Amino acid sequence: MRDAYLIGAGQSDYGSFPGESYRSLFRTAFENACDSVPAGIESEDVDEAIVGTLGVGGRQLGLPGPAVTEHVGLHGIPVTRVENACAASGYSVRQGVQAIRSGMADVVLASGVEIMTDVSGDAVRYWLGVSGETEWERLSGTTFAGVYAQMASRHMQEYGTTREQLSHVAVKNHENGAKNPHAQLGFECSLEDAMGAPTVADPLNLYHCCPTTDGAACVLLASEDVVENYTDDPIRVAGVGAGSDRVGLFQRDTYTAVPASQYAADRAYEMAGYGPDDLDFAEVHDCFAIAELMAYSDLGLCEPEEAGEFVASGTTKRDGEMPVNTSGGLKSKGHPIGATGAGQVVEAFKQLSGQAGERQLDDPQIGLTHNVGGSGGAAVVHVFERGLGGDAA
Amino acid sequence: MSGPRYERSKRQDQHLIGFECQACGWVSFPEEKRTCKRCGDAPAEMEEVQLAERGEIQTFVVQQYLPDDIETPQPVAIVDLPQEGEGEPARAYGLLTETDLEEIDVGTEVVARFRELFSDGERPINSFKFSVPREEKA
């Protein structure tokens, strides 16, 4: 199979930016991605672009793809918008890999963008809710935080997971985000702060919930035929896996795992020929603290009953055995819905190319990204490795 | 917001009728009787089953941060409603009303009632409400 490589990746700052538009944030991300390509890249090299966005607030709901690529000088090429809620741009990256593997493109821009902070609190809650199961879940009154809180209640009951363990997720991710200049909430927080925050959806408090965010992220992928034109230090897309599930939590067979994540991880590991023990780091979808704990077990890093202790023991800290969310994760770095999946790949690129600054890990070779849509109606996992890898190695 | 386009009858609403997949035993409730959402059987052979009005809380949330016009704290649970006979239970979402927060836990028994939750001006929006059976209240 024709291999795809990560040759560059960049993001805008994540945060609340009244002076920016979705186009200006996208342009910043695109320019940062182009600047990160070691041998440089020209706009005309890009054969195709994929743009992930949910479209919070309405604005450019139709044709948001061309609306941003026209703004960065990508003219005439095929551009597609991908919508899979919070997994939109994880799926953009997957679609970019598909375009390259199929032979239809040599260089692809896979990206995402979202503006969330310029609408009212009630409006943003409405737009967050649109990815819930509408007929029963939403009309019973359950919010997005409410669905994850239901998973947390059951996790606590089944596995003895504690609020303190959930709070450790926030402490760890803020510790990392404080070293990420692009992070929205780039400050450290103590366990006391995290434990004492106001309740949002019991058992989840404010520090168990990620913020709403403006931001964009861009990833540049190249085929094995052209990768050497762009870099001497290629990063191979070793594995891609994706999966779906019933959108409503109540119709799933489990409330303490995200089966779509398990399907995605199994497929990505199988394609890559690597397993959880081979990973040097992972960027996982921590929209709520319980989501990070479930990701640990869904990705095979530990058993579900060990997830709480896995974070509380420091195993997933930057200097732990299995660093998770060195970027700060959705909790501290921020969660611009449509940009989040591509933004995770930006962190994987930075870690694997040694450009992660103060949060750089010691020479990592293999990393994973994990992006979930809604409460688990969709998920996508990528495994990246340094070098040409595969048959070319 | 438009009203829900339910595929269900008044009889289903009022009598807690589910549909059991004869291939895998999944109980669809209340809206789907053509495709099994678990095993994917389609067209599925679905047999009508009567559900009990008493079920057990599988998980729950107590929502605090909601739009200003909604009363808080607002508890919402996923409840398993057992069949009258043998077989798997159905699952339903529902608000918990007339219930003390301390009474709510995984495993708590509740009674289901189908009620109009609110109206969008033209159509009623119906869903389930649950409560701890009155005689068992502390």
pLDDT tens by residue, A206-238: 999 999 999 999 999 999 999 999 999 999 999
CA distance A224 to A179: 34
CA distance A382 to A352: 14
Give contacts of A199 with chain B, Cβ < 8 Å: 62, 64-65
Average pLDDT of chain A?
A: 95
Give contacts of A139 with chain B, Cβ < 8 Å: 4, 117, 125, 127
Q: How confident is the model at residue B117 (pLDDT cuts 50, 70, 90)?
A: low
Q: Which helix (H) or strand (E) holds A290?
A: helix A289-298
Would residue A86 show up in a list of annotated catalytic residues for this protein? yes
Looking at the DSSP bridge assignments, the partners of residue B109 are: B56
Window 54-113 of B: residues touching A by CB (8 A cutoff) are 58-68, 70, 73-74, 76-78, 91-95, 105-107
**A199 inside domain:** no
Q: How confident is the model at residue B136 (pLDDT cuts 50, 70, 90)?
A: low
CA distance B36 to B23: 9
pLDDT at A360: 98
User: Locate tokens 């701890």: which residue?
Assistant: B132
Coil, strand or helix at B49: strand
Tell me which of A197 and B1 has the higher pLDDT. A197
The residue type of A277 is D
CA distance A25 to A341: 16
Report the range of poorest mean pLDDT among A85-89, A257-261, A322-326, B94-98.
B94-98
Contact A20, A86 (CB under 8 A): no
Do the chains contact at A154 and B93, CB–CB below 8 Å? no
CA distance A8 to A231: 9
**A194 inside domain:** no
CA distance A144 to A131: 8
**Segment A28-41 mean pLDDT:** 98
pLDDT at A393: 45
- Listed in order, strand segments (DSSP E) in chain A are 4-11, 48-52, 79-82, 107-114, 199-202, 204-205, 215-223, 235-244, 281-283, 366-373, 378-386
**A152 inside domain:** no
**Segment A355-384 mean pLDDT:** 97
Would residue A209 show up in a list of annotated catalytic residues for this protein? no
Looking at the DSSP bridge assignments, the partners of residue A4 are: A223
Residue A326 has pLDDT above 80, yes or no: yes
pLDDT tens-digit series, residues B67-89: 888 889 999 999 999 998 899 99
**A350 inside domain:** yes
pTM score of the predicted model: 0.93
Window 14-33 of B: residues touching A by CB (8 A cutoff) are 31
pLDDT at B10: 59
**A154 inside domain:** no
Q: How many CB atoms lie within 10 A of CB A391?
A: 8
User: Of the listed A34, A86, A218, A302, which one is catalytic?
Assistant: A86
Coil, strand or helix at A145: helix
Give contacts of A142 with chain B, Cβ < 8 Å: 61, 63, 76, 93
Domain containing A365 equals 4-119+211-392
Tell me which of A280 and A136 has the higher pLDDT. A280
CA distances from A64 to A75, A97, A335, B127 (A): 14, 21, 19, 36
Which of B78, B115, B119, B127 best probes binding to A when mutated, by most A CB atoms within 10 angstroms? B78
- Total domains in the fold of chain A: 1
Do the chains contact at B61 and A137, CB–CB below 8 Å? no
Give contacts of B95 with chain A, Cβ < 8 Å: 140-141
Say which CATH number the domain at A17 has: 3.40.47.10
Q: Given B58, B62, B77, which is nearest A202 (Cβ)?
A: B62
Closest C-alpha among B68, B27, B20, B45 to residue A121? B68
pLDDT at A188: 98
**Nearest CA-CA distance, residue A238 and chain B, Å:** 31
**A181 inside domain:** no
Q: Give me A192's structure tokens.
A: 């006391």
ipTM of the modeled complex = 0.85
Do the chains contact at A141 and B63, CB–CB below 8 Å? yes
Residue of A nearest to B65 (CA): A200
Coil, strand or helix at B34: coil
CA distance A192 to A174: 13
User: Of the listed A155, A174, A285, A335, which one is catalytic?
Assistant: A335
Q: Give me A264's structure tokens.
A: 């995605």
Name all contacts of A73-77 with Cβ < 8 Å and 24+ positions apart.
A73/A43, A74/A43, A74/A46, A74/A49, A74/A109, A77/A46, A77/A47, A77/A48, A77/A49
Report the range of poorest mean pLDDT among A59-68, A235-244, A372-381.
A59-68
pLDDT tens-digit series, residues B55-65: 999 999 999 98
Residue of A nearest to B78 (CA): A250
Residue of B nearest to A123 (CA): B67
Q: CA B59, B76, A246: angle at the middle one, nearest 5?
A: 65
pLDDT at A205: 98
Q: Give me B1's structure tokens.
A: 């917001």
DSSP A242: E
**A75 inside domain:** yes
Do the chains contact at A146 and B31, CB–CB below 8 Å? no
pLDDT tens-digit series, residues A199-208: 999 999 999 9
Residue A123 CB-density burial (10 A; 0-12 exposed, 13-18 middle, 19+ buried): middle
Q: How confident is the model at residue B7 (pLDDT cuts 50, 70, 90)?
A: very low
Q: Which helix (H) or strand (E) holds B60?
A: strand B54-63
**A387 inside domain:** yes
pLDDT tens-digit series, residues A183-195: 999 999 999 999 9
pLDDT tens-digit series, residues A157-172: 999 999 999 999 999 9
CA distance A344 to A87: 11
